[in-house]
Amino acid sequence: MTAQPAFLKITDLNKQFGPFVALRDINLDVVEGEFLCFLGPSGCGKTTLLRAIAGLDIQTSGRIEQAGRDISVLPPSERDFGIVFQSYALFPNLTVNKNIAYGLENRKMKRAAIRQRVQELLELIGLPEQSSKYPAQLSGGQQQRIALARALATAPGLLLLDEPLSALDAKVREHLRHEIKQLQQRLQVTTIMVTHDQEEALTMADRVVVMNHGVIEQIGTPMEIYRQPRTPFVADFIGAMNFMQGTCVASGQIQLGEVQLSCPEADIAVGSKAIVAIRPEDIRVDEIGQDHSNRIAARINTLEFYGSFFRAELSVSGLDAPLRADLSVNLLRRTGVEPGTRIEVILPADHLHVFAAT
């Protein structure tokens, strides 16, 4: 991916609101045609970054280039993008037709050509019958698609989506996720979406930019940020994760209380503090007593039913915090474990994430 030239290039971007630093040293390359997600908790700066790219709130310093053109200080009207807001911002007094055609008028386009383009877009979003209705007469999901069509009408080089699905209920959201992704792939339009919903980011994006406190924590494919989180924040924010405090006692050996784990790939200096993390689904229950490193004795405190699995809270002697482990329904049926049962669990070395403690 990095081999391709960047379509949108952000260099050393900072944004301050008075003394508050909203964005710090943002560097980011977006490849043409890719679907990028800004993911982070509220207040992490993801919307601020999107608004800087749109020119709605200019950054304090830094450079933004789009298609080789420096757009750092240009007003929105001189940039090349379409945008869909959380509220959709559809003009309530104009019909669907006129909303979509809004950006096409006033640019010497023939009326017939406009009509044809609007029809084309309506078919693209799958709402060819709704053209003469007003936004208030449509469902939330339909309004969302009209807003998308309006943003795409002028065939912009960049599509910006600011939490476009968060106002919808779960079922519609899931459906639209899929549709937007398909539409984006068909049109090959470079797209940046802001979201706080990790599931949305993981399912839709080609690459995810995880942000926290105004800095980029990690950029990577959904798979990368899930499997190889580079910071404890990313590890914690995406999916579920157990964290344990320890010390590196020998190369690839980390002592956690009375437990010693081997993590051959850990890049930690001997003697320094480390954080070891593992996802609940990566903890295995040892049923046959096989000889395995990182085998520890635990006791099941509680079991919570999650539908397709049980989440167990395990207390491990020598560890200060309990561990969460996901146990399959089958395993429970087979072994009959219940709260109070003592079991042996394995923390596979290749699933351990080790971070230097700060």
Partner 1 sequence: MSTLASTQAPLKAKISRDDWLQRAAILVIAVYLIITLALPLYVMLSKSLQNHAGEFIGFGNYSDYFTTPALVYSIQNSLFIAVLSTLISVSIAFLFAYALTRSCMPFKALFKTIIMVPILVPSLLPGLALIYLFGRQGMIPELLFGAEIYGPIGIVIAEVFFTLPHAVLILITALSIADARLYEAAIALRASKTRIFFTVTLPGVRYGLISAAFVVFTLVITDFGAPKVIGGDFNVLATDIYKQVIGQQNFEMGAVVSVVLLIPALLAFIVDRLVQRRQVALLTARAVALEPRPSKRFDRLMLAYCCLISLFILGMIGVCQYAALIKFWPYNLSFSLDHYQFDLMDGGGWDSYTNSIKMALYTAVFGTIIVFSGAYLTEKSRGFRTGRMLFQFLAMLPMAVPGLVLGLAYIFFFNAPNNPLNVIYHGMVILVISTITHFYTVSHLTALTALKQMDAEFEAVSASLKQPFYRTFMRVTVPVCLPAILDISIYLFVNAMTTVSVVIFLYGPDTTLASVAVLNMDDAGDIAPAAAMGMMIFYTAASVKILHYLMTRGIERKTQVWRRR
136 binds partner 1 (CB under 8 A): yes
Task: Return the residues of window 49-68 that contact partner 1 according to CB under 8 A.
Answer: 54-56, 58-62
Count the Cβ atoms, other than its own, within 10 Å of residue 233: 20
20 binds partner 1 (CB under 8 A): no
Dihedral-angle region of residue 213 (phi above 0 means left; psi in -120 to 50 means alpha; beta otherwise): left
Quote helix, strand, coil % in the chain, to nearest 5: 25, 35, 40
Minimum CB distance to partner 1, residue 206 (Å): 23
Minimum CB distance to partner 1, residue 107 (Å): 7
| Rounded Cα distance, 44 and 213, in Å | 5
Minimum CB distance to partner 1, residue 108 (Å): 12
Query: Got the DSSP string for 189-215?
Result: -EEEEEES-HHHHHHH-SEEEEEETTE
87 binds partner 1 (CB under 8 A): yes
Q: Which is nearer to partner 1, 60 or 247 (CB)?
A: 60
| Rounded Cα distance, 93 and 176, in Å | 25
Minimum CB distance to partner 1, residue 234 (Å): 21
18 binds partner 1 (CB under 8 A): no
Applying CB under 8 A, the site for partner 1 has a residue count of 46
Q: Which is nearer to partner 1, 45 or 55 (CB)?
A: 55
Q: Binding residue for partner 1 (CB under 8 A) from 11, 16, 119, 260? A: 16
72 binds partner 1 (CB under 8 A): yes
Q: Binding residue for partner 1 (CB under 8 A) from 73, 113, 249, 270? A: 73
Burial class (CB in 10 A: 0-12, 13-18, 19+), 213: middle
Q: Binding residue for partner 1 (CB under 8 A) from 32, 65, 102, 297? A: 102
- C-alpha dihedral, 53 to 184 to 221 to 196, nearest 10°: 60
Q: Binding residue for partner 1 (CB under 8 A) from 33, 67, 103, 172? A: 103
Residues that bind partner 1 (CB under 8 A): 12, 14, 16, 21, 24-25, 54-56, 58-62, 72-79, 81-83, 85, 87, 89, 91-94, 102-103, 105-107, 134-137, 150-151, 153-154, 156
